[in-house]
Amino acid sequence: MSYPRIRISDAAKHVGETVSIAGWLYNLRKSGKICFPLVRDGSGTMQCVAVKSAIPEELFETLKGLTQESALIVTGKIRAEERAAGGYEMDVEAADVVQKVPEEDPYPITPKEHGVDFLMDHRHLWIRSKRQHAILRIRHEVIKGIRDYFDSHGFTLVDTPIFTPAACEGTTTLFEVDYFEDEKVYLTQSGQLYNEATVMAFGKVYCFGPTFRAEKSKTRRHLTEFWMVEPEMAYATLDDVKQVAEEMICFVVARVLENRQEELKTLERDITKLEAIKAPFNRMSYDDAVKKLQSLGSEIQWGGDFGNTDETLLTADMDRPVLVDRYPAEIKAFYFEHDPDRPELALGVDLIAPEGYGEVIGGGQRVSDLETLKKRLDDHGLPHEAFGWYLDLRKFGGVPHAGFGMGVERFTAWMCGTEHIRETIAFPRMLYRTRP
Ligand code: 4AD
Ligand code: MG
């Protein structure tokens, strides 16, 4: 006889019913007359209770002998149980073992402590662990929140290409692809340049996809492959970028708090830190940020870029992010509009998260004048040929426009309170990590 198959997350709707759960053995506690297989199915974990006297002897022995991560379908009656994780238990009546993990070759990740390298080598299995599972669920919530924000604010999603002949964020972090015959082609660093084209067709757009940086820096904030959401708005300025960035972040944080309490608890995230993330964020010019950092003992000089320690120092007394704007044009990409009152400054902004999470958003206002843009390409040693179409955008209805990019992994790390960004993507790619 077969019973309805449910997901553990729906257990509340099936109290008193006999149902089946298809999953994997997460843990097993046992004594002579009773055993407690803890089963996970991806949506949650269910404590199952198998009593020797209540089920066939053979079934009891099978369950008792199960190895960690063996695949099984358990059937039984759901009962509310306050003391159980998740609030429900299943009284086992039947079980099918779909695949038993061999005793002589057991699941490599045990409840004992493992080193990070070992865990990263077993990432394909590590993602089943509670913590990793919680982080990836929060990542999903973040992505959904971002999409919902832009979709409900008049932005059209337009995907941008991954192979691209033009550098966007400087030539030092470009991945060259050796395949195309006529032209040098790279993996995209950012969809921004293409957004600048699509935005003139749709007014407000965003792209959301993988981006690549040949980052030689081996820090806890850098991946070589990461996901970025990039909104772009026509007839918009630096101020619009700040406002949308702030609003979007508040929206997504609220979503995470609303829907991912369980996961935040698993991660032991101090949620008062997330609850504090409310508008208005702090706002500060680059000039003032440098002064503040110097007064706090940083060695930074005007003209320098902030390092991780500077970003951490800058926000040490803040409970919410800071929007730092008007950086020296010298240290910013070619496409920034310069401040008309102080041409040495780029109309760019970085959003720096508190608690040491650093820059999660970079953006600003783009050059809208054709001649200025041509000069800028020259100044940065970028070939006009690769940017022909990009220059066109300034010839045919060029207008002030602005946008930003937010890295999903950095944002997720901040939400989760994880120390290293590598845990916020299923299969991280870093300088020394391309497997699994
Ligand atoms: O500041 P970035 O380089 O800006 C751009 O790419 C712009 N074209 C975006 C735009 O205006 N449309 O990158 C934006 C964000 C950073 O703030 C950070 O969150 C993330 O992308 N990021 C990285 N995340 C992980 N690993 C890396 N190596 C990253 N580099 C940037
Ligand atoms: Mg940046």
Give the per-residue pLDDT at 97. Answer: 98
Q: Give the residue from 126, 122, 133 showing the smallest Cα distance to 42.
A: 133
Tell me the mean pLDDT in the region 174-179.
Answer: 94
For CA atoms 104, 108, 110, 113, give the dihedral sign: positive
Q: How confident is the model at residue 218 (pLDDT cuts 50, 70, 90)?
A: confident
Tell me the mean pLDDT in the region 78-98.
Answer: 95
Model confidence over 258-270: pLDDT tens digits? Answer: 999 999 999 999 9
The Cα 36–Cα 226 span in angstroms is 40
Tell me the mean pLDDT in the region 140-151.
Answer: 98
Residue 180 Cα to ligand 1 midpoint, Å, equals 26
Residue 144 Cα to ligand 2 midpoint, Å, equals 23
The Cα 71–Cα 39 span in angstroms is 9
Give the per-residue pLDDT at 182. Answer: 85
The Cα 334–Cα 346 span in angstroms is 9
The Cα 149–Cα 252 span in angstroms is 8
Give the per-residue pLDDT at 370. Answer: 97
CATH code of 8-99, in short, is 2.40.50.140
Q: Which of 108-112, 164-168, 205-209 has the highest mean pLDDT?
A: 205-209
Select from 168, 173, 187, 190 the residue to mutate for testing ligand 1; criterion: most ligand atoms less than 8 Å from CB.
190
Give the per-residue pLDDT at 37. Answer: 97
Give the per-residue pLDDT at 299. Answer: 95
Going by DSSP bridges, is the β-strand pair 175-177/71-80 parallel, antiparallel, or unpaired?
A: unpaired
Give the per-residue pLDDT at 64. Answer: 96
**Which residues contact ligand 1 via a Cβ below 6 A?**
168-169, 190, 192, 213, 215, 222-223, 226, 228, 230, 359-363, 403-407, 409-410
Q: Decide if pLDDT at 236 tops 90.
A: yes
Give the per-residue pLDDT at 385. Answer: 86
The Cα 299–Cα 9 span in angstroms is 52
Q: Pick the residue whose CA is nearest to atom 30 on ligand 1.
A: 222
Give the per-residue pLDDT at 337. Answer: 98
Tell me the mean pLDDT in the region 380-398.
Answer: 93
Would 8-99 and 123-424 be classified into the same CATH topology? no
Q: Give the residue from 139, 130, 406 showing the smallest Cα distance to 259.
A: 139
Q: Listing from the earlier edge strand, what are the strands of the sheet with 185-187?
A: 163-164, 185-187, 175-177
Q: Give the residue from 120, 99, 96, 122 showing the smallest Cα distance to 109.
A: 122
The Cα 6–Cα 367 span in angstroms is 55
Give the other-Cβ count within 10 Å of 365's Cβ.
25
Give the per-residue pLDDT at 197. Answer: 98
Residue 222 Cα to ligand 2 midpoint, Å, equals 12
Q: Which ligand is nearest to the CA of 228?
A: 1
Model confidence over 326-354: pLDDT tens digits? Answer: 999 999 999 999 999 999 999 999 999 99
Helix axes 388-395, 192-202, angle to 10 degrees: 30
Give the per-residue pLDDT at 215. Answer: 82
Model confidence over 16-33: pLDDT tens digits? Answer: 999 999 999 999 999 889
The Cα 357–Cα 31 span in angstroms is 46
Q: Give the residue from 391, 339, 345 showing the smallest Cα distance to 368.
A: 391
Atom number of ligand 1 nearest to Cα 405: 9
Domain assignments of the chain as residue spans, ordered by start: 8-99, 123-424
Model confidence over 295-306: pLDDT tens digits? Answer: 999 999 999 999
Q: Give the residue from 27, 44, 35 showing the smallest Cα distance to 87.
A: 44
> The whole model's pTM is what?
0.96
Q: 174: which residues sit within 8 A by CB, 6+ positions away?
A: 167, 186, 187, 189, 214
In the chain, the percentage of residues whose pLDDT exceeds 70 is 100
Q: 223: which residues sit within 8 A by CB, 6+ positions away?
A: 213, 215, 409, 421, 422, 425, 428, 429, 430
In the chain, the percentage of residues whose pLDDT exceeds 90 is 91
Give the per-residue pLDDT at 111. Answer: 80
CA 287 to chain centre: 30
Residue 362 Cα to ligand 2 midpoint, Å, equals 5
Q: Which fold has domain 123-424?
A: BirA Bifunctional Protein; domain 2 (3.30.930)
Burial of 180 (0-12, 13-18, 19+ CB in 10 A): exposed
- The overall average pLDDT reported for the chain is 96
CA 95 to chain centre: 37
Residue type, 143: I
Tell me the mean pLDDT in the region 160-187.
Answer: 91
Residue 417 Cα to ligand 1 midpoint, Å, equals 20
Select from 238, 410, 430 the residue to mutate for testing ligand 1; criterion: most ligand atoms less than 8 Å from CB.
410
